[in-house]
Structure 1
Amino acid sequence: MDANSSGPRSGSATPLELLRTPPPKERADAARNRTAILDAAARLFAEHGVAAVSLDQIAATAGVGKGTLFRRFGDKSGLAVALLDTRERVLQEAILYGPPPLGPGAPSAERLTAFVDAYLDYLLAHLDLVRMSETATPGARYRIGAYRFWHRHVAILLDGSPDPDHAAHVLLAALAAEHIAALLPELGDPRIRVGLRRIAGQLR
């Protein structure tokens, strides 16, 4: 069994399972405000672009005070993280329990390539949001819980390399939203994808 697979969802959780993004737990009124804010943010971001929308606009559209938004999300990066939450959990579940090669059951090299492809698909589908979540404040990317999950998964797949933890950071650096956004107009998706697969193979 793979080191980062728990098999059936019973018994003790593996270290990787413990790093999954948890669903939010909150009171009914707080949940309603959260939903209103996220719906407003998603709509405004889609209509005007992430960079062009202010927190004041989001609060007004959601019908909540700006203080409520700040207390719940802090800043636009916090909003972006919350909007990405469900999408990240889907990918995490596929890694933990889905079919191979993304999920358990395939050789590590195949799972690593599948992760690169799946993460790049996720990233390109939500590039502006991921970029905001990673860059709105210095070091934001490394404080996001999902980053710890991606890093642990990649490090497990790179077990046997001289320094799996460092190698995992290297691969994830190449998958940073700011980096991909800068390369995309010049290189395009296919060349970026091939290059990332090559990096992943060289790190093993």
Structure 2
Amino acid sequence: MEAETRLEDLLAAIAPKYRKAWRRHIESLAAGVQRDLAPVADLSEATWQRLKQNILGQVDQRQPARGWPQARDLLHEARAFQYLQRQGCEEIAFSAPTMLAKSPDLIARQGFRRILCEVKTIRLTADDALPAAFARKLLTRLRDAEKQLRADDDTSAQRLVYVILDRDGADGRPELVAEITAILRRSMPAGLDFVLDTGACAQ
């Protein structure tokens, strides 16, 4: 299904009194929206509906300027879904968030082993300095990811943090990828693995 169809489906589910403002805001963003939506085009209808319900339940619908970045982060989870597919995982599913308990964003199975996956999008601008400023931002997200992944008590499961690097204006600094990879290796909590998605190919 085309990404535009998914977008229309999402907008149709926004509360009617906010829908027009969302549409205007998204139209003002031009090409970047298509990039964000591209991964969801390949999801099955049932999988898309689960992700869409997660988006609707977690974003601020009243303010699209705030709600759309929140929706983008959740749409990015489709990139982790695709990665798990490429790794040969089966039974891949988005978790349904609850107010009562933390849970990973995705759960899958590879052979007899469960895979618990938490997705974190880190925005990096041309002004971000490395390693200190970015490292602090990253460590905060890793601590949050660890809480989500540890909420499941399956001791045999692989716990994976899927880190998406959103390089807003920082594409001209390819050396950042190597520096960020080094920070992740130093800072990743014990028992957790990571994948770094730079927008081109997951590392």
Give the TM bin, normalised by the shorter chain.
0.3 to 0.5
TM-score (norm: length of structure 1): 0.32
Which structure shows the bigger proportion of residues in helix conformation?
1
Higher strand share: 2
Larger-Rg structure:
1
More RCO (CA 8 Å, sep 6+): 1
